[in-house]
């Protein structure tokens, strides 16, 4: 997940460095920099929810009581 988010963030930075005029273009009344930045925030929140779900499932699996079966 870190690599996935980092890829989108590096693209955001690269566009700002290479061609900042692109980030200034208007899309629906807002410039691309604002839309992309808000998209990064929303994407980070979605990744956090996925991470939370994965960790919760792993924690529940670890906390289930043994059924008395020996391995």
For residue 64, what pLDDT is reported?
86
Pairing of strands 26-27, 30-31: antiparallel
pLDDT digits (tens, 9 = 90+) for 34-48: 999 999 999 999 999
> For residues 57, 62, 67 and 70, what is the CA-based torsion angle, rounded to 10 degrees?
130
Sorted by where each begins, the domain ranges of the chain are 2-63
Q: What is the pTM of this model?
A: 0.77
Q: What is the pLDDT along the chain (71 residues), one digit of tens a residue?
A: 999 999 999 999 999 999 999 999 999 899 999 999 999 999 999 999 999 999 999 999 888 887 656 65
């Amino acid at each position: 997940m870190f690599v996935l988010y980092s890829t989108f963030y590096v693209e955001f930075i690269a566009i700002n460095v290479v061609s900042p005029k692109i980030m200034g273009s208007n899309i629906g009344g807002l410039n691309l920099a604002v839309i992309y930045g808000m998209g990064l925030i929303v994407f980070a929140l979605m990744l956090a929810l996925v991470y939370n779900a994965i960790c919760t499932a792993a924690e529940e699996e670890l906390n289930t009581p043994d059924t008395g079966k020996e391995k």
